[in-house]
Amino acid sequence: MLKKIKYTLSFVLVLLISSSCQYEKRDINEDQTELRIVSLVPSYTKEIIYLGMKDHIVGATSYCDISKENKNLIVGSAVEINEEKILLLKPDVVFASGLIKEKSIQILKQNGINVQFLGKKASFDDLCEQFVQLGKIIGKEKEAQQYVNQANKRVDSLKALVPEQEIKPKVFFQLGANPIAAVIPNSFMDDYISFASCVNIFHDLDKIIVNRESILLRDPDYIIISSMGNVGLQEKEIWESYKDLSATKNGQIFIVKSATMPTIFDFVDNFEFIIKQLYGDN
């Protein structure tokens, strides 16, 4: 009974806030000086700041760097959000991801909030296209395209550092430890491997969960570990304990900054680090 009353009160609260938040929708490109943005995706938050729109962010997740400076901006995590708080902020646009519960998204949409999803990031090209799309939504398309052009030039210059090889090195790119998760094809992280003229040892898989035995059997020449704090360091030590593993013999087991939700700038920085690890500074 208590649970039912609590649910009813919460529902009434949303309705009351909804009625008080009704306002005439306007074209968000009409007046950028008044634009109000809520970002529920940490990488999008960083990109909005890159585009000079930091002061227009009125809400963000607890995982966004900007929230460390101002905790009042927090409207939830990357999964759970406070719909009431977002409605009270009267944002012109909310950037969301598929991690947010559908029920929460529907509440926002039913109250006239412009919720934007920028799609799946299946390649570096997708990262670039989505950045331009984000820029267009907030009136910064020209600036976003300029950044994309710069990022592509950096990627091309890094590719030029890769030596010609008759046999391409085999790479295992690890994303998680318990269970072990691997980079697989049709993901932007697989581009780190292909751009470096290497072969993903799991090029034939469509599921990211793998076991240690399968990795040892495929015997990668290089192991790249996406930063997981102490867990990443522990995984590095575990792999190095396998003395017959090619990556151990080559001294090529290393950790990169978290690669799972990068901006285009993070992607290029990680790619530069990987190229230098694999081929040196030549």
What tens digit of pLDDT does each residue of 205-220 get?
999 999 999 999 999 9
Burial of 19 (0-12, 13-18, 19+ CB in 10 A): exposed
The pLDDT-based confidence of 8 (bands split at 50, 70, 90) is: very low
Q: Give the model's pLDDT for residue 82.
A: 96
Paired tokens of 136: 């267009």
Q: Is the pLDDT of residue 6 over 90?
A: no
Across the range 118-141, mean pLDDT stands at: 93
Assigned fold of 149-279: Rossmann fold (3.40.50)
Q: Determine if the peptide bond prior to 185 is cis (ω within 30°).
A: no
Q: Give the model's pLDDT for residue 29.
A: 54
Q: Please report, rounded to a whole number, the percentage of residues in the chain having pLDDT higher than 70.
A: 88
The pLDDT-based confidence of 34 (bands split at 50, 70, 90) is: confident
Q: Please report, rounded to a whole number, the percentage of residues in the chain having pLDDT higher than 90.
A: 75
The pLDDT-based confidence of 26 (bands split at 50, 70, 90) is: low
- 182-192 in b/e burial notation, b at 16+ Cβ within 10 A? bbbeebbbbbb
Q: Tell me the residue ranges of DSSP E strands in the chain.
A: 37-39, 57-60, 93-96, 115-117, 170-177, 180-182, 199-200, 209-210, 222-226, 253-256
Per the model's pLDDT, the better-predicted residue between 146 and 261 turns out to be 146
| pTM listed for this prediction | 0.84
Q: Give the model's pLDDT for residue 259.
A: 73
225 within 8 A of 254, measured Cβ to Cβ: yes
Across the range 245-261, mean pLDDT stands at: 90
- 40-71 in b/e burial notation, b at 16+ Cβ within 10 A? bbbbbbbbbbbbebeebbbbbbebbebbeeee
Assigned fold of 34-120: Rossmann fold (3.40.50)
Q: Give the model's pLDDT for residue 126.
A: 94
The pLDDT-based confidence of 233 (bands split at 50, 70, 90) is: very high
Q: What is the pLDDT of residues 159-179, one digit of tens each?
A: 999 998 889 999 999 998 989
Give CA 135 to chain center in angstroms: 17
CA distance 81 to 86: 8
Q: Is the pLDDT of residue 101 over 50?
A: yes
Across the range 151-155, mean pLDDT stands at: 97
CA distance 247 to 250: 5
Q: Is the pLDDT of residue 7 over 80?
A: no
Residue ranges of the chain that CATH labels 3.40.50.1980: 34-120, 149-279
Q: Is the pLDDT of residue 145 over 60?
A: yes
Q: Give the model's pLDDT for residue 25.
A: 52
Q: Is the pLDDT of residue 141 over 60?
A: yes
Q: Give the model's pLDDT for residue 208.
A: 94
- Rounded (to 5) percent helix, strand, coil in the chain: 50, 15, 35
